[in-house]
Structure 1
């Protein structure tokens, strides 16, 4: 349990460093609509979605200090929803809707949105070096995936665990979800294995899980 002093110190430290503001969340896994209401109450911002989108879906638990964006991505992880930005608001839409829009526009492989979320191990949100490292991993992987012609502007959903050696080389420890053509999924794994990342902080728990969505 974080004390009030620890929480205020963490918030002030993030603001002073110019990093995104963090909030203390304690939202258990529950029906998605109720979880979104609880999320909005914490961050004071509105999440736009079709009421039918929330029906039958459950949220992921979000407990700890997170930025608003990271918390929302955690909240909907495991669902087929993704986040669009529209006029400063966050809009939840099913990935299938985005794919349909791309197809209707005559560009089935047009890149509408690329999302890569780095799920740092439980408790890591309280270690700023772990959280910062997770963001660097996200940026490096996203650049590699969107720059490679085999994986840019492709449709897929991939969730996997990776290990990062002291020299930055990457190994794939576990593949838990793979949706897309076999060629694209194979290419994604090759791009991830070929990248050399920054050296991980000493003692950081591994594997790190990634959720990557290309639509």
Structure 2
């Protein structure tokens, strides 16, 4: 299943309300990648990010009984990164936008028409190969899209757990054809989440 999430906006505040359930955290100041893994295990939240974002980064310590959103904000303090909900139990880690850029160029969310075209284009591309065919893996993908609808850049958020599949996906993402134009001023990147399907839900590729 391919689902959509709104792109990051100025200020880094999530549009999803903070989770109210409090969890006990005991995460020391350590490498950011290790801290995010510890956070994900404690929270039950899937954390999606490009590994390059955490290279050389260290986390702030997080200790105490906290709501997951608050704990993640504390963890990322000083890193230049923000979190963005992509699903109820998944967040993407993104670079914080520059304040002056965000102020000069207000961002708008992608509309349903464009998201539908992007999802259809993604499925058309992934269904061409058994290696990238969705249904058995979970991964986030991001797109930076030009005003004419051409994908300028794409990235995987995390891993499917299979390096060969990851490489095939990375190669396929840049070949997507989107049969619609993005709305003017659309925020970038646009995040989509590919999730597994049960046998009862059938083959998402259908007649593709």
Greater relative CO, 1 or 2 (CA 8 Å, sep 6+): 2
Give the TM-score normalised by structure 2: 0.43
Normalized per residue, the structure richer in helix is 1
Give the TM-score normalised by structure 1: 0.41
